[in-house]
């Protein structure tokens, strides 16, 4: 894809996203001029840029959608619920057209069919709006195919810097009607010997005929409006003015011969335009994310190389080199954090896209939903955000489909007819927590257990804690829906949701109360590339856990020891916590030189546990590398890091570690 | 003079100007621009051709554009310059 096409694609996606947000806002809060303006601008901008690429299908569709929005803007059509739904369909359709254009593929038959259908529906709206106009309003609508326009166009010195080609703009203009004449004025053009090739010298006089308004013609040149001097006028109006002036002149001459006659004056066009949005100087730079990935990979290698230097300094007591090494470590850490920050993006942008899904599902099911997003500013690694989108989508669909009751049922239960669904995100000690909470009917434990037994997921006599019972809904083939719908409830989703979240080294849990609602809690690591780790040794193997999850470290002495049959727990100031003896679990060799044994207290969400380890090596910048196939069956480990010595350290998967300890205890 | 490129745009304008100036300095009675391979041009290049035409007229040099592609002719037509820069199909 060329850079320009790439830009068009990104820009179109942004415009469509803004359009969708405005449509959903209009649904929730009622329409206003701001939302209407946003929807109009989205169609108009996409049409304009598509014109530069000659994407005819997009131009033709967005043109008609723009006309519809123009009528809404002028108050001729009311932006009601049905029209909002139609415009959402239009947004989806334009998205489809854009994708086909960018991929240079022919429009599939169903898209062509949709195109026809939407256009005829829009036309019905437009015709209907005109049928209801008063005769006075009808007069204001310009008569088709009788408008002859004159466009005067002078290029300012900055024109070629705009990056736009006037010929493409004229080509776009031609699509709106008939281009009778383009007359270039060469008076200012120098000879080849003296020309500055980057400076425009030409002006143009254009005669154009088409069923368009003056505003439409001005908007054709919108993308270069700062780089041209433009005058547009209707030839008919101009001639009428001339005629009226002539009559006035005669009358005025009759009244007073001495009074001077004013020549017909064409108002400068820019004064007639509505307030233009002043585009602020952009503080953003659009960068291909793969370039950042390469940068992070390079920094990862630098972190490893730096660890080697540190190791050399330790082994050789090189004082001068040690100072440099410390400075280098500090700089590298700063660089690493800054680069990692580039990858961190607010989750809000991604969450906004779910509003549409919630809205559509609710509409189809006849439910009323008040959907709230909180903590949209919370930042998460871009890769993680992309991968979590599908699981979140599925859970939201589930909440609306199975959680929230129909309005009548809610009212009967003394609830508001509007169901509440809240999607929120917040940081929590090295993790990001995402919660989806609804105030629907909730999940009954009895129903879950009965279903699990019926499906053979658990045995009829199996006893489970509440938390374990709720986890059953993430088992393959489990569905609590009494009626399987096409929206969710096929029983194939929640296990995939859990699998996807676990693949991101996160976990998901459910809390639910019958009649009150449910809350899904997802915990995700901040990033999947480089972390601040805590390095320790057991036997001859090095291990790392994320530093943020280390609550404290204690020497394992008699005071913490608890004797309990078949259970490994320790007493931390009166609280019994489980611990994992890493040496015995991973069958490490015993440590000959260790003077003491330590317990690292690890926290995760509301839970804490201990790891019984040998030597504590301290904080370590950890570049996460995937584990080889040999480690596929190694429990609670998810990656490795290369140390300065060239040795490997294994990185613990904390959610899996907690789960494993619970299983061992049972 | 033959342009062996599909696209002549502002990015090449400096280079094209140098080539045209060199042709002009040859003081040959005729300059022929062979546009066989050229499909895309922008206003910046058309303006340069028009400036060349102004120079050739002053020096009584004949300027000919030949082997113009459909798209080149279409571009000239859109810019209103097809009557100013006549294309020969020879």
Beta bridge partners of A615: A537
Give the pLDDT confidence score for residue A628 in this predicted structure.
72
- List all residues 6 or more positions away from A330 whose beta carbon is below 8 Å from its beta carbon: none
Please choose, from the candidates A455, A361, A345, the residue with its C-alpha nearest in 3D space to the C-alpha of residue A401: A361
- B55/chain A closest Cα distance in angstroms: 5
Residue A536's pLDDT is 94
* Complex prediction ipTM: 0.95
Q: Decide: B39 and B72 in contact? Cβ < 8 Å.
A: yes
Helix, strand counts (H, E) of chain A: 20, 21
Contact A140, A76 (CB under 8 A): no
Which fold would CATH assign to domain A3-140? Answer: 1.20.120
Contacts of B21 in chain A (CB under 8 A): 192-193
Show me where the domains of chain A are located. 3-140, 148-256, 347-525, 530-665
Chain A nearest C-alpha distance from B15 (Å): 10
SS3 content of chain A, % helix, strand, coil (to 5): 50, 20, 30
Work out the burial of residue A564: count CB atoms within 10 Å of its CB; fewer than 13 is exposed, 13-18 middle, 19 or more buried.
exposed
The 10 Å Cβ neighbour count of residue A111 is 16
Q: Do B55 and A192 touch (CB under 8 A)?
A: yes
Give tens-digit pLDDT for A403-460. Answer: 999 999 999 999 999 999 999 998 876 678 999 999 999 988 888 888 888 888 888 8
Question: Of A427, A334, A343, A342, which is closest to residue A384 (Cα–Cα)?
Answer: A343
Q: Which stretches within A30-108 are classed as H helix?
A: 33-52, 56-73, 81-102
**What domains can be seen in chain B, in order of their start residue?**
7-88 (3.30.750.24)
Q: Which residues of chain A have pLDDT under 50?
A: 131-145, 242-243, 245-282, 482-484, 486-487, 489-492
- Interface residues of chain A, partner chain B, Cβ below 8 Å: 160, 165-167, 170-171, 174, 179, 181-184, 186, 189-193, 195, 197-198, 200-202, 204, 206
> Is B79–A182 a contact, with Cβ atoms under 8 angstroms apart?
yes
CATH 3.30.70 correct for A148-256: yes
A106 min Cα distance to partner chain B (Å): 22
Token representation of residue A160:
């070629």
A160 with B75: Cβ contact below 8 A: no
Q: Give dist(CA A182, CA A170) in Å, integer.
A: 9
Rounded Cα distance, B31 and B57, in Å: 11
CB contact under 8 A, A182 and B13: no
Alpha-carbon gap, residue A28 to A490, rounded angstroms: 30
CA–CA separation, A612 and A578 (whole Å): 10
Indicate the DSSP class of residue A624: -
Q: Which residues does chain A have within 8 Å of residue B46's beta carbon, measured at their own beta carbons?
A: 167
Q: Which residues pair with A652 in a beta bridge?
A: A637
Record: contact B54-A193, CB cut-off 8 A: no
Mutate to test the interface with A, among B79, B82, B83, B85 (most CBs of A within 10 A): B79
Which of A450, A490, A492 is CA-nearest to residue A475?
A492
Closest CB from A183, A191, A201 relative to B58: A191
HSE, CB side, 13 Å, CA atoms: give it for residue A298: 8
B contact set with A (CB within 8 A): 9-10, 13-14, 16-17, 20-21, 24, 42-44, 46-48, 50-52, 54-55, 58, 75, 78-81, 84
CB spacing of B43 vs A186 below 8 angstroms: no
Q: Is A208 helix (H, G, I), strand (E, B) or coil?
A: strand
Q: What angle do CA A453, A456, A459 make, to 5 degrees?
A: 60
User: Which tokens hold the place of A545?
Assistant: 């856990």
Give the closest-approach CA distance of B48 to chain A in angstroms. 7
Q: How many CB pairs under 8 A join A and B?
A: 77
CATH 3.30.565.10 for domain A347-525 = yes
List C-alpha distances in Å: A468 to A120, A348, A523, A536.
54, 31, 17, 32
CB–CB of A201/A189 below 8 Å?
yes
The alpha carbon of residue A166 is apart from the nearest alpha carbon of chain B, in Å, by 7
Cβ distance B10 to A201 less than 8 Å, yes or no, reads no
A627 Cβ partners below 8 Å, 6+ apart? A634, A637, A638, A639, A640, A650
pLDDT value, residue A279:
41
Inter-chain residue contact A202 with B20, CB threshold 8 Å: no
Locate the chain B residue with the closest alpha carbon to A171.
B78
Task: Print burial letters for A326-354: b (CB count within 10 Å at least 16), e (below 16).
Answer: eebbeebeeebeebbeebbbebeebbbeb
E-assigned strand segments in A588-659: 598-604, 607-613, 615-623, 637-642, 648-652
CA angle A178, A182, A185 (to 5 degrees): 165
What are the two backbone dihedrals, phi and then psi, of residue A243, each rounded to the nearest 5 degrees?
-65, -50
Q: Which residues of chain B have pLDDT under 70?
A: 89-90
Architecture of the domain defined by A530-665: Beta Barrel (2.40)
The shortest CB-CB distance from B80 to any of A160, A182, A190 is to A182
CA A555 from centre of chain: 46
Q: Which residues pair with A518 in a beta bridge?
A: A438, A512
C-alpha to C-alpha distance for B38 and B35, rounded to whole angstroms: 5
User: How close is the nearest chain A Cα to the Cα of B5, in Å?
Assistant: 18
Instruction: Pick the closest to residue A581 from A502, A591, A546 (CA basis).
Output: A591
């Amino acid at each position: 894809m060329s850079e320009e096409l790439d830009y068009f694609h990104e820009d179109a996606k942004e415009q469509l996203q803004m359009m969708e947000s405005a449509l959903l806002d209009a649904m929730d809060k009622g329409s206003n001029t701001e939302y209407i303006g946003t929807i109009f601008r989205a169609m108009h901008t996409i049409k304009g840029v598509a014109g530069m690429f000659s994407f005819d299908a997009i131009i033709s569709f967005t043109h008609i959608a723009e006309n519809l929005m123009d009528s809404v803007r002028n108050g001729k059509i009311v932006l009601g619920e049905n029209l909002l739904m139609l415009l959402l369909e239009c947004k989806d359709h334009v998205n489809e057209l854009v994708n086909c254009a960018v991929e240079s593929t022919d429009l599939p038959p169903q898209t062509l069919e949709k195109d026809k259908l939407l256009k005829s529906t829009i036309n019905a709206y437009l015709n209907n709006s005109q049928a209801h106009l008063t005769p006075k309003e009808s007069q204001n609508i310009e008569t088709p195919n009788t408008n002859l326009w004159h466009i005067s166009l002078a290029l300012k010195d900055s024109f070629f810097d705009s990056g736009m080609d006037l010929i493409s703009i004229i080509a776009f203009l031609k699509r709106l009607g008939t281009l009778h004449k383009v007359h270039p004025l060469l008076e200012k053009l120098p000879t080849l010997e003296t020309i500055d090739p980057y400076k425009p010298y030409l002006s143009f006089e254009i005669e154009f005929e088409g069923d368009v308004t003056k505003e439409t013609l001005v908007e054709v040149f919108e993308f270069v409006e700062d780089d041209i001097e433009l005058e547009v006028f209707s030839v008919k109006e101009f001639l009428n003015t001339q005629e009226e002036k002539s009559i006035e002149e005669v009358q005025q001459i009759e009244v007073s011969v001495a009074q001077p006659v004013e020549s017909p004056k064409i108002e400068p066009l820019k004064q007639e335009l509505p307030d233009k949005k002043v585009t602020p100087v952009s503080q953003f730079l659009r960068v291909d994310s793969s370039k950042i990935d390469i940068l992070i990979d390079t920094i990862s290698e630098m972190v490893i190389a730096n660890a080697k230097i540190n190791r050399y300094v330790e082994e050789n007591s090189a004082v001068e080199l040690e100072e440099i090494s410390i400075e280098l470590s500090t700089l590298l850490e700063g660089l690493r954090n800054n680069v990692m920050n580039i990858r961190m993006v607010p989750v809000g942008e991604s969450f906004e896209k779910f509003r549409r899904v919630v809205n559509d599902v609710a509409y189809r099911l006849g439910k009323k939903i008040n959907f709230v997003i909180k903590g949209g500013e919370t930042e998460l690694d871009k890769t993680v955000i992309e991968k979590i989108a599908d699981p979140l989508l599925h859970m939201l669909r589930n909440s609306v489909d199975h959680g929230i009751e129909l309005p009548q049922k809610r009212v009967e239960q003394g609830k508001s007819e509007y169901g509440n669904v809240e999607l929120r995100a917040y940081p929590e000690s090295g993790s990001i927590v995402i919660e989806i909470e609804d105030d629907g009917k909730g999940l009954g434990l009895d129903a879950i257990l009965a279903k699990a037994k019926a499906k053979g997921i658990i045995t009829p006599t199996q006893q489970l804690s509440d938390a374990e019972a709720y986890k059953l809904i993430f088992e393959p083939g489990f569905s609590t829906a009494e009626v399987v719908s096409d929206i969710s409830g096929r029983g194939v989703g929640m296990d995939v949701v859990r699998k996807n979240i676990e693949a991101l080294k996160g976990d998901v849990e459910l809390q639910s109360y019958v009649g009150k609602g449910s809350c899904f809690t997802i915990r995700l690591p901040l990033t999947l590339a480089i972390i601040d780790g805590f390095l320790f040794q057991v036997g001859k193997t090095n291990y790392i856990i994320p530093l943020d999850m280390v609550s404290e470290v204690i020497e394992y002495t008699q005071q913490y020891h608890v004797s309990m049959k078949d259970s490994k727990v320790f007493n931390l100031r009166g609280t019994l916590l489980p611990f994992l003896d890493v040496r015995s679990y991973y069958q490490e060799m015993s440590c000959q030189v260790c003077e003491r044994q330590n317990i690292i207290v690890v926290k995760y969400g509301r839970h804490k546990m201990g790891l019984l380890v040998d030597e504590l090596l301290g904080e370590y910048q950890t570049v996460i590398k995937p584990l080889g196939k040999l480690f596929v069956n190694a429990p609670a480990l998810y990656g490795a890091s290369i140390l300065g010595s060239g040795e490997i350290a294994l990185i613990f998967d904390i959610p899996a570690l907690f789960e494993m300890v619970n299983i061992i205890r049972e | 003079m033959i342009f062996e490129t599909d696209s002549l745009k502002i990015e090449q304008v400096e280079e094209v100007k140098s080539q045209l100036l060199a042709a002009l300095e040859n003081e040959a009675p005729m300059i022929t621009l062979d546009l066989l391979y050229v499909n895309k041009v922008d206003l910046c290049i058309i303006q340069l051709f028009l400036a060349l035409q102004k120079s050739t007229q002053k020096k009584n040099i004949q300027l000919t554009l030949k082997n113009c592609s459909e798209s080149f002719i279409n571009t000239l037509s859109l810019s209103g310059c097809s009557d100013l820069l006549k294309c020969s199909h020879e």
